[in-house]
Amino acid sequence: MDLIGSIVMIAFLFFGTFYKGDGGFYSVKYNVTGYKMLFNTDFIMGTLLLLCPAITLITNYVTAMKKSEKLIKLVMPILALILVFVLKSQLSSELDYSGGSMGLGFSGIVYLIAGLVSLIAAVARFLNQDLSQKIKGKK
């Protein structure tokens, strides 16, 4: 489940509006896509929105990461979720002069949900629980 969450997180960085603002006094809509956050040098932390789920994906294939796989898969979704709100506040400070407010767009909400799914799966794996058995109701 953490792999599915990571794939969805990466995919929705490239589709739709990640952050949206109402524009404030100027009433001009302010939309920021995920890929604009990735390739903008003003928001260098936006690159981490892609790197966190990518690192989660590659831990299965890199043998040097196998020893700390559970910890990496636990920390990366937490870091990604924190970054979503840090970048939102950073963008909000840009709109602050016009009295505007910044919120999450559709792809930002899907990114958060996928991040939470990935985090739940990582916590279950870290605690040595089998989620598929828990979902089916078996012990």
Q: What residues does each domain of the chain span?
A: 2-136
Query: Cα(93)–Cα(55) distance, rounded to whole angstroms?
Result: 29
Beta bridge partners of 21: 30, 102
- What crossing angle do the helices spanning 106-126 and 69-95 adopt, rounded to 10°? 150
- pLDDT per residue of the chain (139 residues) written in tens, 0 to 9: 778 888 999 999 888 888 887 765 555 567 777 777 777 766 678 888 889 999 998 988 888 888 888 899 899 999 999 999 888 888 777 665 556 677 888 898 999 999 999 999 888 888 888 777 777 776 5
- Cβ atoms of 98 and 41 within 8 Å: the answer is no
**Global pTM value:** 0.84
Per-residue pLDDT, 102: 77
Phi, psi for 19 (deg, rounded to 5):
-125, 145
Per-residue pLDDT, 25: 58
Query: Cα(11)–Cα(137) distance, rounded to whole angstroms?
Result: 31
Per-residue pLDDT, 112: 93
